[in-house]
Amino acid sequence: MMAAGFMIAGGIGSVLRFWLGNIIMSRLPHPRIPVSIMLINILGSFALGLFVSLGIDNQVLSIVVGTGFFGGFTTFSTFSIEAVELLSAKRLKASAAYILLTMVCCIGGFWAGSIV
Phi, psi of 90 (to 5 degrees): 60, 30
Indicate the number of domains in the chain. Answer: 1
- Contact criterion met (CB below 8 Å) for 116 and 53: yes
In angstroms, rounded to a whole number, what is the distance separating the alpha carbons of residues 99 and 83? Answer: 7
Q: Which residues are annotated as a binding site?
A: 71, 74
Q: Which residues are annotated as a binding site for Na(+)?
A: 71, 74
Contacts of 48 (CB under 8 A, 6+ apart): 66, 70, 74, 110, 113
Residues 70-112 have pLDDT tens digits of 999 999 999 999 999 999 999 999 999 999 999 999 999 999 9
Residues 19-45 have pLDDT tens digits of 999 999 999 989 999 999 999 999 999
In angstroms, rounded to a whole number, what is the distance separating the alpha carbons of residues 63 and 5? Answer: 9
The whole-model pTM stands at 0.92
**Structural domain that includes position 87:** 2-115
In angstroms, rounded to a whole number, what is the distance separating the alpha carbons of residues 26 and 73? Answer: 19
